[in-house]
Structure 1
Amino acid sequence: MIKVISLLCVAALPYTSFAQLDTVRQNEGGGRIYIKVLSNDAIVDEGYLQDGKLDGAWTNYHSNGEPNTIVVYSKGHKNGMAMKMTDEGRPEYIRHYRQDKLDGEQRIFNTNTGKLLEVVHYANGFKQGSYRKFFQSGALQERGNYDKGVKTGKLEHFSEGGKLAYEVNYDNQEEAGTAVHYFPDGEVKEQGSVKNDKRSGFWKEYMHGGSREIEGNYVEGEKDGEWKEFYNGKEERSVTYNKGKLINKK
């Protein structure tokens, strides 16, 4: 990222006095100045000042000459696209700003493969709206929603093979409401309610084919009270729990 201290020095000092870096200043008229910062004749930073403030695209470079970061400014503030890349030219992220705050779409990439890892949207500095996360393979891993930086609404997790693995609702950054887990083939494995990120209330677990296996209640994430066990869809026995500890079998 462009170094703020060096940029302030660039704006204020003449060519021969800027520490150990060489600074080229080209006055283009109308208050606009092109700045190029060099180290051993290699470009470190370059961009424009307008009336003494950062303006337009500023680029910082890796030591091998490849762009490291590109950030768009307007009147001294980040406004527009910003991106970061590896020294081999692969993207690390692409994001957008408005008045120095993240605003708009942000994309994060795997720097080894270049594949997309995450897409999230911002509004006024907060995550807002839909987001998606991806496996290293590029397959969809997770999708959900934010409201002012807080997870809300339905969240879905997927297997790398593309099957829905888990879905749950979020309220104020916590799991709340109905949650469903799925077998790899897409059949329901277990379902019930959650509250404050913990299982709470009635839950059912299923065998392949849809027949019930066990059912009972959770309190604060622990099995509590009577739980029924089934075989071939018929009740076989019941067991009793107290705060997660088995205390009785019938």
Structure 2
Amino acid sequence: MKKLMLLGIMMFSGVVFAQEIDHKYEIVDKNVKATYFYENGQVKQEGLYKDGKLHGKWVSYDVNGKKQSLGEYNNGVKTGKWFFWTDSNLNEVDYSDSRVALVKTWKQDALANRN
């Protein structure tokens, strides 16, 4: 009986841990903080929702945890400076009402501040 019970517990715990978590939502002040994950458990993207719209700082990461983008939304609208990292460049994009106003590009040496 003990072996059967132990086997049941092990099977249950295996099922629980096998379930993939692809997102998590938390209440932060009056906003909802959303965190999205890759299959390997690394954070894919995180930011806030206010009244159902993207709001505040949002950050995206690659599957290895390196930052890919950083920017802000104001009630669902991209605003201000956004940064996009690639393997060889850092691009700074200025948004005005979700439209690209200006783009600047830096080469490899700008990537030192990526993490």
Asked if these proteins are the same fold (TM beyond 0.5), I'd say yes
Contact 2:36 2:43 in 1 (8 A): yes
Alignment pair present for 1:229 and 2:105:
yes
Contact 1:142 1:158 in 2 (8 A): yes
Q: Distance in 1 between matches of 2:37 and 2:82?
A: 21
Q: Give the superposition deviation at 1:160.
A: 1.2
Aligned to 1:213: 90
Unmatched 5+ residue regions in structure 2?
A: 1-14, 111-115
Aligned to 2:22: 141
Alignment pair present for 1:156 and 2:35:
yes
Q: How does 1:46-61 map to 2 (within 5 A)?
A: none
Q: Distance in 2 between matches of 1:232 and 1:145?
A: 36
Q: Distance in 2 between matches of 1:146 and 1:176?
A: 14
- Compute the TM-score of the two structures, normalised by the length of structure 1: 0.34
Alignment pair present for 1:165 and 2:48:
no
- Compute the TM-score of the two structures, normalised by the length of structure 2: 0.69
Aligned pairs, number: 94
Contact 2:27 2:33 in 1 (8 A): no
Greater percentage in strand: 1
Greater percentage in helix: 2
Q: Which amino acid aligns with 2:21?
A: L
Q: Give the superposition deviation at 1:212.
A: 4.8
| Alpha-carbon RMSD | 2.5
Structure 1's 228 and 173: CA in aligned 2 closer, same or farther, altered over 3 A?
A: same
- 3-state SS of 1:140 partner: coil
Q: Which amino acid aligns with 1:142?
A: H
- Say which one has the larger Rg: 1
Higher RCO structure, 1 or 2 (CA under 8 Å, sep 6+)? 2
